[in-house]
Amino acid sequence: MKAYERLLNYVVIKTPSDEESMTTPSSACQFDLAVKLKEEMIQLGLSDVVLDDKCYLYGKLPATAGYENVPAIGFIAHMDTVSDFSSGTITPVITKNYDGGELKLGNSGLTLSPKDFPHLESLKGRTLITSDGTTILGADDKAGIAEILTAAEHLLNDPSIPHGEVKIAFTPDEEIGRGPDHFDIKRFGADFA
């Protein structure tokens, strides 16, 4: 699966964190994405996949033969989104072959303008994924999750790429500054991340 396809699957799952909450995760909906990711990680063939009661998800890609003693690298991304503009249905908009001009956000009446965002002009000719302007998209950090799992899938499907263990973790509540609060560094087990 391509990373953008994964991203489109993830962003429609609402995961806003709640800074008023005293629980971990701060919002139960973060488990909705975590459970989906756990199933996907198992289907991909990752090992030691664990989703704990605080919504921290861990897994690993075993080392290829002969690379078991190479330091383990880790990749971490967070599952939560900001709570602002997250109450409606999340509708991604795909703009193929972007022309570099005003970018309409669905039927919301909102646009992104190169006058306000000069870097848009550098994206001319590319495919862009945005929200429809009525909610956030939540690509931070669901795009990171999509990239990590796509890379893991690539390594699993191409045994000619040697690597040590690759550790993966997805965390809750980063947007409210509590992502590391219950992160199990020992369970994660990466030498570098």
Residues acting as catalytic residues = 80, 174
What is the C-alpha separation between 180 and 174, in angstroms, rounded? Answer: 8
Extract the tokens encoding 119.
């870097």
Extract the tokens encoding 15.
């995961």
Q: Residue for token digits 């000719």?
A: 125
DSSP state of 16: B
Closest listed residue to residue 46, CA positions, set 127, 141, 154, 118: 154
What is the C-alpha separation between 64 and 78, in angstroms, rounded? Answer: 27
Q: Residue for token digits 């690993």?
A: 60
Q: Tell me if 19 sits within 8 A of 172, measured CB to CB.
A: no
Extract the tokens encoding 33.
């994405």
Look at residue 44 and give its three-state secondary structure: helix
